[in-house]
Amino acid sequence: MSVTTNKRVLAVQTLTANLGYQFQNPQLLEHALTHSSVGEGGGHKAPADNERLEFLGDRVLGLLVADRLIRDYPEADEGKLSARLHSLVDKSACARVGERLGVGDALRLSAGETKTGGRRKAGVIADAVEAILAAVFRDGGLDAARGVFERAWATEFATPAQPAIVNPKSALQEWAQGQGRPLPTYTVVKRTGSDHAPTFTVEAVVNGYEPATATGKSRQEAEKAAAVALLKREGVI
């Protein structure tokens, strides 16, 4: 066993301990940790990546968060529940959860993706977190998934929600105009994943400032996330 392989084995063991769940079928976890870059150019012999599990995990996560919020906030209206739900299921939240769990070091990535810092990319980690939740769901059912979710998202629930921005793109536009700058522009710099579960990486640009990039499951979602990223970095929010 090579040093690199041994390091990853230890990382998977650490991740499993942090999840607090022992898989009956460990291959499901391995599947959830396999990035699409591993199979590039491999044809029909390429290992299955985690995109389908991510698709399922996104729905499992949404259900678990919605159920928790309904129980925690019996008097909250739909608008407040929706805003809080979004803050708990978005890529940023999933990436933070993944970093705390140690997902990055446990990922299966191609050599090229590893060299470009894939183990620390928020989008890659966030996708894997959703896939892991789906793997737990398929391995042990909804109660098992809820147990992992409650442990993994405990810090997110304990952190006060940031004030919601109803329309981040409008907020960025108003700020840019207030700085005497042209309107912000948005460019899709990368699209990955399959047709049924794409991930868009968008760059938001305000003339005179460093661009900000973010990912989303649609171009619109990625643009909003990039606008938020730029506003946060400049201390506007």
The string of pLDDT tens digits covering residues 40-79 is 655 556 678 999 999 999 999 999 999 999 999 999 888 7
Q: Are 1 and 9 in contact (CB under 8 A)?
A: yes
Q: Does domain 168-233 have CATH number 3.40.50.720?
A: no
Indicate if the alpha-carbon torsion angle 231, 205, 220, 216 is positive or negative. negative
| pLDDT value at 165 more than 90 | no
| pLDDT value, residue 28 | 97
Choose the weakest-confidence range: 69-78, 91-100, 117-126, 161-170.
161-170
% of the chain beyond a pLDDT of 70: 93
| pLDDT value at 201 more than 90 | yes
Q: Are 193 and 51 in contact (CB under 8 A)?
A: yes
Per-residue pLDDT tens over the stretch 113-147? 899 888 988 889 999 999 999 999 999 999 999 99
Angle at 103 between CA 186 and CA 115, to 5 degrees: 65
CATH class of 3-158: mainly alpha
Angle at 230 between CA 131 and CA 196, to 5 degrees: 30
| pLDDT value, residue 141 | 98
Mean pLDDT of 71-99: 89
| pLDDT value, residue 15 | 97
> Which has more confidence, 44 or 167?
167
Closest residue by Cα to residue 188 from 210, 227, 215, 228: 215
Mean pLDDT of 149-162: 91
| pLDDT value at 1 more than 80 | no
> Which has more confidence, 193 or 111?
111
Q: Are 125 and 98 in contact (CB under 8 A)?
A: yes
| pLDDT value, residue 163 | 63
What confidence tier does 160 reach under pLDDT thresholds 50, 70, 90? confident
Give the Cα separation of 73 and 174 in Å (integer). 33
Mean pLDDT of 207-216: 92
Mean pLDDT of the chain: 90
Domain ranges of the chain: 3-158, 168-233
> Which has more confidence, 194 or 168?
168
| pLDDT value at 198 more than 60 | yes
Mean pLDDT of 213-220: 89
Residues with a catalytic annotation lie at: 58, 130
